[in-house]
Amino acid sequence: MIERTETTPTVEASSAAQRRVFHSKVDTIRPTYGFEDVSLAPGIDTMEPADVDLAQTFCGIELAIPILASAMDAVVDARMAGALARLGGLAILNLEGVQTRYDEPAATLERIATAADGDVQAILAEAYQAPVREDLIARRIGEIHGAGSRAAVAATPGAARRFGPFCAEHGADLFLVQSQVSSARHLATGYDPLSLAEFTRYMPIPVAVGNTTNAEAAFALMEQGAAAVFVGVGPGAACTTREVLGIGVPQVTAISDVAAARDAYHAETGRYVPVVADGGMRRGGELAKAIAAGADVLMIGSPLARAEEAPGRGMNWGMAAPSPTLPRGTRINVGTIGSVERILLGPAQVTDGSENLVGAVRQSMAALGARTIREMQRVEMVYAPSTQTEGKSWQLSR
């Protein structure tokens, strides 16, 4: 650590002042790492990809693949939930989105997707002014079950107290309390903040919490009853939190820090709290690195917004985009490339790693000798930014 000291004290300075050590913010800046900074190192074992086991129980829900669909309006509706469930994953519905504000949200989704770039923020703000209706929440939960999926729903802390018990009564299987930055203690003078410990105690279904990047905060959330902790502030393709607010930690470091809290909490209590890597992953290698960094489950948005089954019509927009005063999400054109099955399980029709995402994770695990998610979390990770460019000059020049 660099120590900045006074090297030329004045004659009048006291001896104590001469000995004083000054620390600046940059003295304590630590290096952090994103997916492009690291690589996974082969070990002594390899195995057949068919022998890799990706299945796990997540918050009481059986998953055949470690994939969650982000609670974004352009990504999840009942149709997408059913399609993803058939592949072994789980979709999470945004309780404060258009699905719960409009009887028939198709027209609103079409309007957002086709709006001119200069008009889209105003249209988003207008679309989200309609009130959230409990009858539509109940209807959507029923539709998700009817599509063959377990019903996972998400709301911000301010809405969780109102909608949580209602969703549980109407058949929801998992409730996610999700905000831009989740902490164990929220301070407010104008209202009574949600008590997570109290909320998890009276909710009859598992309550997951997100998002954080901090190990200490994650440990405290686990102590307060979180069934899973989501990791990621600002890495999503449609999120502009890092640019607008200057907040965020690169995902590899964030996942690793929270996973360390999970392991410490498990050692202390015997309760294992899954860590969900949320955002910043577009290619199979990034999903594999997220697991190696410590994630149990992977939440993706924009890659699934490209599916034919997605409600966004080839567009995606951030959950904070509807704000009329300070939007922290933008609409992006991701295109529609094929079915959700092709995106997750292949066959891939491109060579950039953006299709057959689960197949890529399986192949990566097999090449590293990891049969399970837990074993993948123990493979060697190295700092290697050159792996993005080494020997790739012809690819990069195309």
Annotated active-site positions, please? 239, 328
Q: Which residue has the tokens 């999470």?
A: 92
CA distance 308 to 38: 32
131 Cβ neighbours under 8 A, 6+ residues apart: 101
Per the CB < 8 A criterion, the answer to whether 294 and 248 are in contact is no
What are residue 251's DSSP bridge partners? none
Residue type, 336: T
Per the CB < 8 A criterion, the answer to whether 231 and 276 are in contact is yes
Per the CB < 8 A criterion, the answer to whether 343 and 357 are in contact is yes
Q: In 10 A of CB 266, how many CB atoms?
A: 13
> What ranges make up the beta strands (E) of the chain?
4-5, 21-22, 38-41, 56-58, 61-63, 67-69, 90-94, 152-155, 174-178, 207-212, 229-231, 275-278, 297-300, 315-317, 331-333, 380-383
CA distance 204 to 200: 8
CA distance 378 to 215: 18
What are residue 307's DSSP bridge partners? 338
Per-residue burial over 88-113, b = 16 or more CB atoms within 10 Å of its CB, e = otherwise? bbbbbbbbbbbbbbbeebeebbebbb
CA distance 279 to 75: 13
